[in-house]
Structures are given as C-alpha cells and as structure tokens.
Structure 1
Amino acid sequence: MIHDTKKDARASVFDAIYEANIGSYLGMPVYLSNGKLFGTVCAIDPNPYAFTKQEIETIRRLSSVVSVIIENATKSSYDEFDDKLIRLEKLSLLGQLSAGLAHELRNPMQSVRGFVQFLFEDQKENQFRDIVISEMDRMNQLVNDFLMATQPSAPKRENSNLNDIVNETVEFMRNEATLHNVDITLSLESTMLYVDVDKSQIKQVMINLVKNAIEAAGDEGGKVMIYVKIRNEKEAVIEVVDNGAGIPLSIIGRIGEPFFSTKEEGTGLGLSISQRIIQEHKGAMRLENLESGTRVTVSLPLM
C-alpha cells in the first residue's frame, strides 16, 4: 500500500485548524530590513469569512509598522550597548590619566603651595597669595576627583543612621543655599534609618546632589526639597527635588558621563563619582524630569 505523505501532511494541518476553531485566517509576513522573516501578523475569525481588500491592506500596513518597530527596538539595544562600551572605554582612559596625574602633579603642587605660603607668611592679607593657594587646592581636588571616578576606594562600612548623614549635609549646605537665595527643606519619614555605609562617601554623594540642585533651582524663588523615606521595608530612599528648568531630553542620557557637563567650569565628574559610590554600596541612582524641575532618587539597602 502506497501512502501519499503530502496528502497526510495537509490532512494533519487541516485537523489542527479545525481543532483551533479557525474558520478564516489572514496572515501577512513581517520581514526585517535584511530580508529575514521575523514572523507574521494575522487575523483570525472562528467563522468562514472572506476578508475584504481594505482589511487585507490594513494587515499589510500593520506588518510594515511592526517591522519598523522591531528594527528600531533592535537598533536601540545595540545603541545602548555601544553607549555603555564607550563609557567603559572613557573610564579606562580616565583611570590611566588620573593615575599619572596623581603621581606627576601632586608633589609639585604641594611644593608650589608651600613656597607661596612661605614667601608671604609675614602678610596677613594678600589677595594674590590667596588666589594662588585657592587655585592650587582646586587643582588638587580635581586630581582627587579623577582618582575617585576611576579607582574608588572600597567603602569603610559602619552601622549608621542615614537621617543623621542627610541632616548634616543639609546643614552644611544651608549657607550656599542662602547665597543663591534658595530655600532648602528636609523631610524625614522616620527618626531611625540604619544602613551599612561609608559615612564620608555617602555624605560626598549628598553634597554633590544638593549642590547641583541648588544651582539648578536658580537665584529667585528657588526651592530644594529633600525627602528620606522607607520603601518596601528593604530600602532607604533619598529624593533630592529642585524646581529648576529640568534636564533637556536631548542630553538626559549623558548625565553622569565623565567629562560631560552643562556647567561652564564643570568636569562632569560629580555625578559620575556619586553613581560609582552608590553602586559600590549595592544601591541605585535615578534622575528624572518633573513638570517643574528635576528629581534625583538614591536607594540604599536597609540593615
């Protein structure tokens, strides 16, 4: 007895269609730009139905739209990967540069600073001496920032009340807020929020965030609100909110990238350092635009 395998295959296909209760089927292939078949867009009716030309054209257009969406989604993922790779390369280059700078510049800078102080030690007030010393200190801090951004020291953790760290930072920054005519407020959800952190590093992060918020808030009617909360009984959350102009959408993805800054004299290292510190503490940092201003959210695991 001879079996017709093609006939048997067709019969099994029809059986599957009947079992799925498909009376009418209209399918349109979805092709990618390289010609590869990704899948199909289909319309199914349980009853026998003759699809109209308009419906067929609608499915055809829909398949084209799906193809474009898939292409863009794939391209976005590749772009995101390339962006992360570029950032890693920049950090690697920055690490080599900072290590050399630290060695070659620190000693000469300290020597120059010492000689300047020695030459003018008899003068209680000297504008030029103060300018030179201030600029030398700024250069030294820049070298330290390079090192911190690329080779952050391991956190020296201890059981700390996060509220105390934030409160100390706010009090430290009040004078600067006053100089900018910015009102700064602090809201604590709980009196005790214990976290296992390096206090000095977390305080450095808070100083960077509050300073950025004060500068973003402007000089007239500026406001900076800081909230410390508990989320899911597992995380402590710090929110720093300002009522400034916000971050342009065209550059928001680059915020935190080393050497990228919207400030004329900025190095772009402040947020980069802050992100690295929070990552070392197993936390996360997120920036987002509000209707009026910006919110930076930092989360840290509770003890």
Structure 2
Amino acid sequence: MDQKGGFESRFLSKLSIIDRTDIQNFLSHLVKEKNFLEIIFNALLDGVLVLRPSLEVMYLNNTAMEMLGITNRRRVVDVRITDLVSNEEFRELTTRFAVRRDHRVDATIPIGTPPTRMLRVTIIPLEADKDNANGSVVMMLHDATETEKLEEQRRRADRATAFTTLAAGLAHEIKNPLNSLQIHAQLLQRALREAKRPRGRMDTSRAEESSEIILEEIRRLDHVVNLFLDAVRPTRPMAEPTDINKLIDHVVATLRPEAEAANVELTFAPDHELPRMHVDSNQVTQAVINLVKNGLDAVEHAVNPRVEIRTGTGDDTWFIRVADNGVGIPADERGKIFEPYFTTKVKGTGLGLVIVSRIVEEHGGTLDLWTEAGKGTVVTLSFPALERPVRLLGGL
C-alpha cells in the first residue's frame, strides 16, 4: 500500500471511533468559521485577491469583483488574472511581478471605461511553507481616485503659487534691462536731435555704444523670458524609447570642452544593463545639462575638481545621478534652492533646478538631493520603470 493509501486508512480508522455528533459539530464549526471570514473579507472596502503561484485566482472578495468588472465569481476561479482583466497597464504590472517574484510591486494605474478610476495595485508574494509550498500571491486593490484628485488639486495650487512667484521674479529680472534700454534709447534720441540742428553733428561713437547696449539688453530680455517659459510652460513629455546612456554620452561630449577649459574632470559611469526607457529625450537632456552645469560652477575652487554622472536601476525605478566635490550648499540655504530665482551665482538665473524639478515631476519621477558644505552635492533623478505618467510619441 502506498503512503497516501496508508494515511487514508489510518484516518478512516480513527474517524470511525469518533462520535458522529462530534464530527457534525466540528464540521459545523468549520463552516461557520469559513462563512465568518468570508463576511469579513467581503465587508472590506479594498479589493483582495489570493492567487496561485501561476497567478490563477483562488479567491477574491466582492470589492475586487466590482473594481475589476467581474460579475460571476465561479467563472473566474482557476483562471489567470491576466486573462480576466483587459487593461494593458494592469497586465504589464502583473507580468512584471511574474518575472521577479522576490519583491512586492506597487503602482497606481487608471482602469475602467470613462469615468476612469485610479486603482492602487499592490502585489505581495507570500513566503512558502509547509501549508503554502510554492508561495501564493496576495493582490490588494485600493480605489485611489479621490486621493489622486486631491493630490492633483494640491499640485495645481502649488503650481499657481509657483507661477505667482515666477511672475514676481520675472518682473524683477526685466526691470533692470528695461531701465537700461530706456536710458540708452534717450541717449540715442538726444544724439539724433543734436545731429538735426544746424551745423550739428552726431557723436557716432556714443550712438554706436548705446545701440550695442540696447541690442545686448534685448538679448538679455529674450533669455530671461525664454527661461521663464521653460519653467512654467505646461509641456507634457513626448516619450519615445531612448538609450539613456547614449543620451548622457552626448551631454558629456557637449560639455567636455567647457569642463576641460575649467580643468574639471567630467566622467560618466553608465549602467550597461539599463534598457531603453520611454522618456522625452529633449527634456531629460536639458535636465542633465542643467545639473552638470551646476556641478561645474560648484567645483570652481575645489582641489582636484570633478563632476561624475552615473546611471543605474533600483526596485521598479531607474536613475540618473550627478555628483560633484564642490562647495556644497550651506544648511541655511538648502530650503531655498528649489525656489524660483534663488541663486548663489553672480550670473545665475535661479531657474535651473526649478526646470529640472518640473521635468522630473512630469515624468512621474522624484528628485533627491544630498549636500554638505565643503564636501559637495549629489542630485539623483529617479524615474518609474513602469512608464504610466508619460505619453508615447504620437499618442493622444
């Protein structure tokens, strides 16, 4: 007799000596306990699914059914979750978890037909044990629609505040060039009047000097206005598959002459395993250039000045990191560096980091800054590996 048959015989032999009433009471208790647990799960406001290691549905509560548009519970049991939900981003998220099962996956995705709801999806692998030999999977769904709306309202309020600050800064920035334009326009006008008088003559050298200054101030105004537009223009990223390392190679080639002229060592340490990412290459290039230029300015008085760029990956993210061994940022100024028009440079505009921060935010990423006075600064731009927040080139 095999091992399974021996166990069944022993179980049945033991069962025959147990009082029938006790068995009925025990089974009744199990049924009540199961029903009680189901009532609890179905009362939850969040959706809960339990999946087999191969991602077939073992159990789901009523909220999960409603969120995923499932009407018949029996028809979905033992069916792969990716075959039940047609949403492409949901499938991509689940597939990404299937490839790497050693960590949880967490993302917010739009799902459903209009009006679309924002669903926070968390997929958690359970550790294998004697009762869960292969390790089942728990998927939790949270309706984050209202939270996302509140967050979007907050972002709009922040943008309105920032715009007001930028507008005030712009007025301040253009005031000096306008004053200069007025003065030299008056000088030029005076010179022309002198030339019109009988036997009058024009001081051509002074007129030419005023003309040059007027042209220079116009160029300066144009630069200020363009920077202002870069900081506030609500341009959504036009994303396309991009070789990030190649993009940064181009930035390094562009800025290397400037670095060499300042005797600064500019290096790039790429992560060669980094795949092509969906980003707006022009915007990311601008962000990296701004950071590198900040680094070149910061190491002006450093011993063995250097600026290093690095790429890499983390859990569900990839990053670009720019580090320098420059002067760092004093503690009393760190809270101001992302404020429009705040700068410590003599010829700085105070918009460089504002523009970088906006670009990263619109790509759904984050900007982290470490700095210490006298030791240097490290800026890390982290982007989600799941490219939901950006729009594909040519997409609607």
Task: Report the TM range for the smaller structure's normalisation.
Answer: 0.5 to 0.7
Paired position in structure 2 for 1:152: 234
| 1:98-153 deviation per Cα after TM superposition (whole angstroms, max 9, x unaligned) | 69x99xx9xxx9xxxxxxxxxxxxxxxx9998887665444322211111212231
Query: Is 2:346 the partner of 1:264?
Result: yes
Over the matched positions of the two proteins, sequence identity in percent amounts to 35
Query: Is 2:389 the partner of 1:298?
Result: no
Paired position in structure 1 for 2:307: 224
Secondary structure of 1:272's aligned partner: helix
Distance change in 2, residues 1:288/1:192 (3 Å): closer
| 1:273-302 deviation per Cα after TM superposition (whole angstroms, max 9, x unaligned) | 110011000011111115721101111123
**Distance apart, 1:92 and its partner CA:** 2.9
Distance change in 2, residues 1:191/1:248 (3 Å): same
Could you tell me whether the CA contact under 8 Å between 1:152 and 1:276 is conserved in 2? Answer: no
Deviating 4+ runs (over 4 angstroms):
85-88, 95-99, 126-135
Tell me which amino acid in the other structure corresponds to 1:91. Answer: F
Aligned with residue 268 of structure 2, among 162, 179, 186:
186
Task: Give the Cα–Cα distance (whole angstroms) in 1 for the partners of residues 214 and 269 of structure 2.
Answer: 40
Give the unaligned 5+ runs of structure 2: 1-156, 182-207, 387-396
Task: Give the Cα–Cα distance (whole angstroms) in 2 for the partners of residues 299 and 151 of structure 1.
Answer: 22
Distance change in 2, residues 1:183/1:156 (3 Å): same
Tell me which amino acid in the other structure corresponds to 1:163. Answer: N
Query: Is 2:357 the partner of 1:275?
Result: yes
Larger Rg: 2
Q: What pairs up with 1:1-303 in 2 under 5 angstroms? A: 89-94=161-166, 136-190=218-272, 192-219=274-301, 221-232=304-315, 234-290=316-372, 292-302=375-385
Could you tell me whether the CA contact under 8 Å between 2:165 and 2:340 is conserved in 1? Answer: no
Could you tell me whether the CA contact under 8 Å between 1:91 and 1:258 is conserved in 2? Answer: no
Could you tell me whether the CA contact under 8 Å between 1:163 and 1:191 is conserved in 2? Answer: no
Distance change in 2, residues 1:194/1:246 (3 Å): same
Secondary structure of 2:367's aligned partner: strand
Distance change in 2, residues 1:273/1:162 (3 Å): same
Task: Give me the TM-score of the superposition, normalised by structure 1.
Answer: 0.57
| 1:184-210 deviation per Cα after TM superposition (whole angstroms, max 9, x unaligned) | 010012254322111111100011000
Task: Give me the TM-score of the superposition, normalised by structure 2.
Answer: 0.44
Distance change in 2, residues 1:172/1:295 (3 Å): same
Aligned length: 197
Could you tell me whether the CA contact under 8 Å between 1:98 and 1:147 is conserved in 2? Answer: no
Task: Give the Cα–Cα distance (whole angstroms) in 1 for the partners of residues 296 and 241 of structure 2.
Answer: 29
| 1:202-250 deviation per Cα after TM superposition (whole angstroms, max 9, x unaligned) | 1000110000001101155211111111112x21111111011211011
Could you tell me whether the CA contact under 8 Å between 1:227 and 1:239 is conserved in 2? Answer: yes
**Distance apart, 1:264 and its partner CA:** 1.6
Could you tell me whether the CA contact under 8 Å between 1:95 and 1:147 is conserved in 2? Answer: no
| 1:17-61 deviation per Cα after TM superposition (whole angstroms, max 9, x unaligned) | xxxxxxxxxxxxxxxxxxxxxxxxxxxxxxxxxxxxxxxxxxxxx
Task: Give the Cα–Cα distance (whole angstroms) in 2 for the partners of residues 180 and 279 of structure 1.
Answer: 32
Structure 1 vs Structure 2 CA RMSD = 3.3
- Work out which structure has the larger RCO, using CA pairs closer than 8 Å and 6 or more positions apart in sequence: 1
Distance change in 2, residues 1:88/1:128 (3 Å): same
Could you tell me whether the CA contact under 8 Å between 2:169 and 2:341 is conserved in 1? Answer: no
| 1:133-176 deviation per Cα after TM superposition (whole angstroms, max 9, x unaligned) | 66544432221111121223121111111111111111111011
